[in-house]
Amino acid sequence: MNRERLRIVVRGVVQGVGFRPFVFRLATDLELEGWVQNSAAGVFVEVEGSRVSLDSFLARLTKEKPPRAVIRNFESAFLDPVPYRGFEIRASEEKGAKTVLILPDMASCDDCAREIFDPANRRFRYPFTNCTNCGPRFSIIEALPYDRANTSMTKFPMCAACAAEYADPSDRRFHAEPIACSNCGPQLQLWDEKGRTLASQDEALRRAADSIRAGKIVALKGLGGFQLIVDATNERAILRLRERKHREEKPFAVMVPSLAAARELCQISDVEERLLLSAEAPIVLLAKRSVLTIPHLALAPRNPNLGVMLPYTPLHHLLMRELAQPIVATSGNRSGEPICIDEDEALERLRGFADFFLVHDRPIVRPMDDSIARIMAGREMVLRRARGYAPLPIVQSPEVEGERSETVLALGAHLKNTVALSVGANTFLSQHLGDLETAPAYAAFLRSAADLPRLYDAAPTLIACDLHPEYLSSKYAAELPTPKIRVQHHWAHIAACMAENEIGPPTLGVAWDGTGHGPDGTIWGGEFLLANANGSFARVAHLRSFRLPGGNQAIKEPRRSALGVLSEIFGESLWEQTDLIASFSASELRPLRRMLAKNIQTPLTSSAGRVFDAVAALIGLRMRTSFEGQAAMELEFAIDRSFREAYPFRLTETEPIVIDWEPTIRALLSDIKSGTLPGAIAAKFHHMLTEAIVAVAAKIGEPRIALSGGCFQNRYLLEHTIDRLRAEKFRPYWPQRIPPNDGGIALGQVIAARALR
């Protein structure tokens, strides 16, 4: 039997309501071993047993909880077995100062959702209803302690009725800091694009719904910022939004009125259902049904998946009840920027995007995008960590909780930036902030880098940043007087993955992504890094490097990666590869030829992402991209699963080992010539990558393999690699709560910097 350990941290009303005895009974019933313990940070549960029993433990924990228990927040991760013997209720953890935990924003609870549709309730149709079990938190907190006076609700004095509920220990709203009702709380308004008020309160909501039904674009001020909303059944409206947002092909997420409505669009498993209904309420990537009545090609072009979420605020519940159909709900921002949080700023920044603005007067303190998650290899994987997750800490297990007292502020990467702060055993990771290529994103980054130390009253003693000298985050680090450690990008990916899986050295890390600065000055991205006991790493293998004509420009043009790959193999005779060359105009080709001939503006790269790009271009799937990772995504979606073969490759006898893809590309080109279908080529290419990982793992000989970096958002690559590694008796690990993409870099920087001190 394959034994696994499941770690769960439950926060909410779970202390003093019979929760621990319930966990004990459930665990014993399922013949699981481990323990349950109360602590200041919540109830910790660790259970070990078969995967099937663990899955049903997870499902039953929320479904069968004691009636008075309320689970506000629930984190789980699968880990290696200890192993435990029997199941025990451990004594409460009392040591240490109470961790000041800021809870994330939470989706409306069932009680609040019921009240707003009950005509007899005094909160009937009030869109800012909340209670101690749900509602805004991190997005409204200005400072600690968490009191109303320290939130953006301070401008709304409570009415007598709310004050009475707030003071009544038997009330669900006892000390609910954001408590409000229509007499005392925030109010809705509908504005036109000039900011003129058209309607207020319930009429504003109804008129916004009418406008959406009429195909208009409505900017809605939600929980953590603005969303742009259109009717998801109206193709013309969707295309209009795409045109206005200059977002040609990147998928849009939809919000649906109910779980049943979600089932009409997508296939939903039990774990996916739990994720959709959770208080985190992320956008969940689900497999589209084969027959759909909504214009899914406009929503998610060339994509078998659809991002779906359920209403998570009373405002969304009310709007969805009016509309009774799916809507597009996409971030109210310009590409790469953080979402707008202020209505006056939104009028300015979303000018020309929205026809109407549905706004309210509760200030949002910090931007909080909708989070994105999906099920990979049977577990949750968070791809964008923001609303519902941030700023919960990554906690060292109570057993390994160390004496390391260094307070590290990590400044993250360049794309999908987040920042992180470690305080004692806790590392707080900020919400997703955006790409540091735009001024608003950089401003949000600066605010967040100052925000976390201020909130937790912690002065950083060490700054961690990326090795790349040109990242704005690295430049900012250079300005700070605090001692700093520069952490190699791919090493940060691996350090984060190892930390959340609670594994130490020696471990072989496989870090595959698009771009990261290597210490040798080349662009890394197809790396095998061996974690050493002293906190350092060794680059033990990598993909063969090639020249990237035009550097950064190549990221948007996979065909340039293809030129680079062919030039590496064929040299000057590359120009006889007519299929690819035909995609360039004569005036485009001239400078590219010059660059490659003279080695100018052609940085060397070992990036796996760029090899994906090259292959996508060679088979004619994608010559240019309009968003990061698009070519690799389409190559994954093209896979014909009936093909089991892999393209050949070669491992060198050098140190580091080089994975030579020349045999791969040669075989692939002859497949193209003989008319092999792209589905077969895509499958054989993915299998080659997996076999290369297995072959390198066999040469290095470490049983533990950590897989991270943006490439492992590719479900086929990840799941297939896990299967093959397991078949060869390796133990694969991959990111669960922390994104495998650059959103996880800040955590890795903290871990790597601490290990070196």
Residues that bind Fe ion (CB under 5 A): 513, 742
Q: Encode 492-521: b = buried (16+ Cβ within 10 Å), e = exposed.
A: bbbbbbbbbbbbebebbbbbbbbbbbbeee
Which of Zn ion, Fe ion, none does 599 bind, CB closer than 5 to 8 A by kind? none
The sign of the dihedral angle between the CA atoms of 351, 354, 359, 363 is negative
When binding is defined by CB under 5 A, the residue of 9, 10, 134, 510 that contacts Zn ion is: 134
Which of Zn ion, Fe ion, none does 697 bind, CB closer than 5 to 8 A by kind? none
Q: Which is nearer to Zn ion, 182 or 601 (CB)?
A: 182
Q: CB-based contacts of 620: which residues, under 8 Å, 6+ apart?
A: 579, 678
Residue nearest to Fe ion according to CB distances in the complex: 513
Cβ at position 717, least distance to Fe ion in Å? 15
**Part in contact with Zn ion (CB under 5 A); list of ranges 177-185, 239-247, 385-393, 656-664:** 177-185
Specify which residues 609 forms β-bridges with: none
Cβ at position 195, least distance to Fe ion in Å? 40
Asked if 13 interacts with Zn ion (CB under 5 A), we say no
Count, in order, helices (H) and strands (E) of the chain.
24, 32
Cβ at position 181, least distance to Zn ion in Å? 3
Number of residues that bind Zn ion (CB under 5 A): 10
Residue 420 contacts residue 749 (beta carbons within 8 Å): yes
Alpha-carbon span 653 to 656, nearest angstrom: 8
Cβ at position 527, least distance to Fe ion in Å? 10
Residue 311 contacts residue 134 (beta carbons within 8 Å): no
3-state SS class at 618: helix
Report which residue type is found at 394: I
Cβ at position 178, least distance to Fe ion in Å? 37
Residue 596 contacts residue 547 (beta carbons within 8 Å): yes
Alpha-carbon span 624 to 630, nearest angstrom: 9
Helix axes 270-277, 51-63, angle to 10 degrees: 30
Q: Which residue has the tokens 């069932």?
A: 110
Q: Which is nearer to Fe ion, 321 or 556 (CB)?
A: 556
Q: Which of residues 362-421 bind Zn ion (CB under 5 A)?
A: none
3-state SS class at 221: strand
Specify which residues 408 forms β-bridges with: 462
Q: Encode 263-299: b = buried (16+ Cβ within 10 Å), e = exposed.
A: eebbebeebbebbbbbbbbbbbbbebeeeeebebebb
Which of Fe ion, Zn ion, none does 339 bind, CB closer than 5 to 8 A by kind? none
Q: Which is nearer to Fe ion, 681 or 750 (CB)?
A: 750
3-state SS class at 550: coil
Alpha-carbon span 428 to 443, nearest angstrom: 20
435: which 2 tokens?
A: 């790409």
Q: Report how far Cα 187 is from the mean position of its chain's Cα atoms.
A: 32
When binding is defined by CB under 5 A, the residue of 102, 144, 159, 261 that contacts Zn ion is: 159
Burial of 99 (0-12, 13-18, 19+ CB in 10 A): middle
Q: CB-based contacts of 119: which residues, under 8 Å, 6+ apart?
A: none
**Part in contact with Zn ion (CB under 5 A); list of ranges 2-10, 39-47, 179-187, 696-704:** 179-187
Cβ at position 377, least distance to Zn ion in Å? 34
391: which 2 tokens?
A: 């700023």
Between CA 331 and CA 334, with CA 332 as vertex, the angle to 5 degrees is 95
Which of Fe ion, Zn ion, none does 181 bind, CB closer than 5 to 8 A by kind? Zn ion
Which of Zn ion, Fe ion, none does 513 bind, CB closer than 5 to 8 A by kind? Fe ion
Cβ at position 115, least distance to Fe ion in Å? 45
Asked if 133 interacts with Zn ion (CB under 5 A), we say yes
Cβ at position 176, least distance to Zn ion in Å? 8
Q: Which is nearer to Fe ion, 115 or 742 (CB)?
A: 742
Beta strands in 467-545 (DSSP E): 484-487, 507-517, 523-531, 537-543
Which of Fe ion, Zn ion, none does 162 bind, CB closer than 5 to 8 A by kind? Zn ion
Which of Fe ion, Zn ion, none does 112 bind, CB closer than 5 to 8 A by kind? Zn ion
Q: Which is nearer to Zn ion, 35 or 138 (CB)?
A: 138
Q: Report how far Cα 10 is from the mean position of its chain's Cα atoms.
A: 21
Which of Zn ion, Fe ion, none does 464 bind, CB closer than 5 to 8 A by kind? none
Cβ at position 105, least distance to Zn ion in Å? 12
3-state SS class at 195: coil
404: which 2 tokens?
A: 């390391």
Asked if 181 interacts with Zn ion (CB under 5 A), we say yes
- Torsion angle of C-alpha atoms 520, 522, 526, 531, degrees rounded to 10: 20
Q: Which of residues 93-122 bind Zn ion (CB under 5 A)?
A: 109, 112
Cβ at position 316, least distance to Zn ion in Å? 14
**Part in contact with Zn ion (CB under 5 A); list of ranges 124-132, 226-234, 355-363, 600-608:** 124-132
Which of Zn ion, Fe ion, none does 131 bind, CB closer than 5 to 8 A by kind? Zn ion
Q: Which is nearer to Fe ion, 323 or 411 (CB)?
A: 411
Q: Which is nearer to Fe ion, 568 or 742 (CB)?
A: 742
Q: Which is nearer to Zn ion, 67 or 701 (CB)?
A: 67
Cβ at position 513, least distance to Fe ion in Å? 4
When binding is defined by CB under 5 A, the residue of 183, 269, 532, 573 that contacts Zn ion is: 183
Which of Zn ion, Fe ion, none does 373 bind, CB closer than 5 to 8 A by kind? none
Which of Fe ion, Zn ion, none does 742 bind, CB closer than 5 to 8 A by kind? Fe ion
Q: Which is nearer to Zn ion, 106 or 529 (CB)?
A: 106
Which of Fe ion, Zn ion, none does 256 bind, CB closer than 5 to 8 A by kind? none
Cβ at position 735, least distance to Fe ion in Å? 12
Cβ at position 376, least distance to Fe ion in Å? 17
Q: Which is nearer to Fe ion, 500 or 513 (CB)?
A: 513
Cβ at position 108, least distance to Zn ion in Å? 6
**Part in contact with Zn ion (CB under 5 A); list of ranges 87-95, 175-183, 486-494, 581-589:** 175-183
Which of Fe ion, Zn ion, none does 23 bind, CB closer than 5 to 8 A by kind? none
When binding is defined by CB under 5 A, the residue of 61, 116, 162, 365 that contacts Zn ion is: 162
Residue 414 contacts residue 473 (beta carbons within 8 Å): yes
Q: Which is nearer to Zn ion, 162 or 689 (CB)?
A: 162
Alpha-carbon span 309 to 657, nearest angstrom: 44
Asked if 184 interacts with Zn ion (CB under 5 A), we say yes
Cβ at position 566, least distance to Fe ion in Å? 25
- Torsion angle of C-alpha atoms 118, 119, 120, 126, degrees rounded to 10: 70
Asked if 269 interacts with Zn ion (CB under 5 A), we say no
**Part in contact with Zn ion (CB under 5 A); list of ranges 131-139, 420-428, 599-607, 628-636:** 131-139
Q: Which residue has the tokens 């200041």?
A: 40
**Part in contact with Zn ion (CB under 5 A); list of ranges 50-58, 180-188, 204-212, 698-706:** 180-188
Q: CB-based contacts of 579: which residues, under 8 Å, 6+ apart?
A: 618, 620, 672
Q: Which is nearer to Zn ion, 117 or 476 (CB)?
A: 117
Cβ–Cβ contacts within 10 Å for residue 575, how many?
16
**Part in contact with Zn ion (CB under 5 A); list of ranges 28-36, 160-168, 451-459, 665-673:** 160-168
Cis bond upstream, residue 506 (ω within 30): yes
Cβ at position 114, least distance to Zn ion in Å? 9
Binding site for Zn ion (CB under 5 A): 109, 112, 131, 133-134, 159, 162, 181, 183-184
